Every structure is written in structure tokens, then in C-alpha cells.
Amino acid sequence: MTDLSSDYDGEYPIVVEGLRNSFGDHVIHEDLSLKVRKGEVLGVVGGSGTGKSVLMRSIIGLQQPTAGEITVLDHKMGESTEEDSIDLRSRWGVLFQGGALFSTLTVGENVEVPLRQFYPELSDMLRSEIARFKVRLSGLAEEAAFKYPSELSGGMKKRAGLARALALDPELLFLDEPTAGLDPIGAAAFDALTRELKETLGLTVFLITHDLDTLYAICDRVAVLADKKVIAVGTIPELLALDHPWIQEYFNGPRGRAALAAKDDPAIAPEHDTAPQAERPLAPQGSGMDTSRTGA
Ligand SMILES: Nc1ncnc2c1ncn2[C@@H]1O[C@H](COP(=O)(O)OP(=O)(O)OP(=O)(O)O)[C@@H](O)[C@H]1O
Ligand SMILES: [Mg+2]
């Protein structure tokens, strides 16, 4: 891996070294290394099927690598005691690609699932109060806690998934394509929310995305997956200085240029607004009213 910005001497809550993942003969990752800095939003990009989701699943222990070492919050994955790994799982929150809400549970009950699992001693009242707080924190009205996923728009489902990911006050937040399928206003609002939560809660965010606007708007650095490894990690200007064809095509292609223009134009740049989460209106899904996002 080429770490393009090496002027950092802080902590690394996630360290991946020499990772190999394969499914049968199909090698997904080979000698992949990556270090995530404490308190950053790290964007992870790469073509479809390059193994972004598999990388995330490896980091959180859902995918057993065939080689390599992964250290999360100073714990070596795969070597922890049962107690350690339970403790570790309570220190991160995950929004999976596709949401993965339980359809037979209300939003509030979905958020209560990890609370029940990790803090069974909590009273029903306290548990539901915490769940409702997380729902509000994710920018949904409190009433949304009583709705079923089928009653929510796509953007609301993402926020509900985020509320569940935040249930345990995590230190690390993993987001897999959080803005995929959202209309431009909804996607920009979700970006602003992610950035705001990171700043107020001191989170480190591992953010897989295809969305160039998201990369420009909220990521501190970006890791590029190609050729089975992380070929480079750095700020967007640092990446642009490389002459790797995929990186150039991605950031300097028409969509990349439009995202950059949108970022630099104050009239259309996604806002980092500071309105209280619960009062922020949700974007109407599929309204097509906005021209500020370039899509990806
Ligand atoms: N459980 C599995 N069994 C077999 N192959 C798998 C499994 N999970 C993922 N793969 C394969 O691993 C490769 C990487 O998949 P992954 O889901 O990580 O891609 P991705 O980079 O997240 O793509 P996308 O941008 O489309 O989400 C793909 O070829 C996929 O088919
Ligand atoms: Mg994926």
C-alpha cells in the first residue's frame, strides 16, 4: 500500500496487514494492507466486485481471511477470547450494504436488538428510551421508532440502520454504501449527518462508497482498492497526483470533475448544516428536485 500522507503519529484503530481472502480459486485480496487513523472518515473506493464489502466483513470478523493479520482497537482478530470478541463487537456499529433491518420488528425494536444482546440487564423502559434517542440522533422523528421498515422510505431506512449501528455508542462506524439509492438531497443530508456524528461523537468512520460527492464532502482520506489490494490511501489531491489509470479515470472522469465542481461551488455544495437532527426534514425520495449531486 502507498500511504501518501505519512505525517501522522496518532493511533490506528484498524490495522490490516498482508490480508488474503479467496473463495475457492477466486482470489479477492492478496497482500492487502491498510491503516485507519483515529477520528478520520476513511472513504473506501474501488470497482464493483473488487472486495470492499469482503474487506469490511473481514475487519469485523464475519469473513475468515486465508492469510494476514487484522488488529481492531488493539485486539488481534481471530485470536481473541470469547469475552474479548463480545467486548469488541460492542465497540463498533455497522450499516450493511442494503440495510438489513428486521422487517418484522419496528424501527425502535430494531435498535433495541443490540441493546438486548449486549446489555440484557437494562430495563425495558430504559432500553426503549435509549432506542428512541438513537432514532432521533439519526435524524428521524421519534414516531419513526414505532414504524415497520416497510412503512419507511429508502432514506428513512438508511437512517434507521444508522440508529441501530449507533445503539451501543460505538467508537468505530462501518458504513457500506450508505447513500446508494438515495435521491441527491437525501444523500447530501446523510453525508452531513455522518460528518456531524463523527465530529460530535468522536467516531472513526470506515465508509465504503461509489458516491464521488460523498468522497469530496466528508472523507478525510480515501483508500483505493484495485488489483486485489489497497493501491493507495491519501487525500483526494494526493491521489490525483498519482498516474494510476483507474484513479485518474475515477476522479478525473466526467463524474469526478462534476463532483469537484459541485464541491467548490458554494451555491451547490452539500451543506454541513447544524440543525438539530430531529428537526432536519427528510428529503422526499425520488423527488429529483436537486441538481447539487452528481451521482456516481
Ligand atoms: N460469500 C461469498 N462467496 C463467494 N464469493 C463471494 C462471497 N462474498 C463475496 N464474494 C465475491 O467476492 C468478490 C468481492 O465481493 P464484494 O461484495 O466485496 O465486492 P464489492 O467491492 O463490495 O462490490 P460492490 O461495489 O458491487 O458492492 C465478488 O466477486 C463476489 O462475488
Ligand atoms: Mg459491496
What pLDDT is attached to residue 186? 85
SS3 147: coil
Reported pTM? 0.88
What pLDDT is attached to residue 294? 56
Asked whether the predicted pLDDT for residue 80 surpasses 70, the reply is: yes
Helix axes 107-118, 154-165, angle to 10 degrees: 20
pLDDT in tens, 135-153: 999 999 999 999 999 999 8
Q: Which residues surround ligand 2, an ion (CB under 5 A)?
A: 52-53, 97
Ligand 1 centroid – CA 115 distance (Å): 30
pLDDT in tens, 198-254: 999 999 999 999 899 899 999 999 999 999 999 999 999 999 999 889 999 898 877
Q: Which atom of ligand 1 is nearest to the CA of 21?
A: 12
Q: Which atom of ligand 1 is nearest to the CA of 57?
A: 18
Backbone φ and ψ of 70, nearest 5°: -125, 125
CB distance 146 to ligand 1 below 6 Å: no
What pLDDT is attached to residue 253? 77
Residue type, 171: E
Helix segments in the chain, DSSP class H = 52-59, 82-89, 107-118, 124-137, 154-165, 184-201, 212-218, 236-240, 245-252, 254-264
Picking from 6, 15, 23, the residue whose alpha carbon sits closest to that of residue 68 is 15
CB distance 49 to ligand 1 below 6 Å: yes
Ligand 1 centroid – CA 52 distance (Å): 8
Q: Are 197 and 203 spatial neighbours (Cβ–Cβ below 8 Å)?
A: yes
* Closest residue CA from atom 7 of ligand 1: 23
Whose atoms come closest to the Cα of 51: which ligand?
A: 1
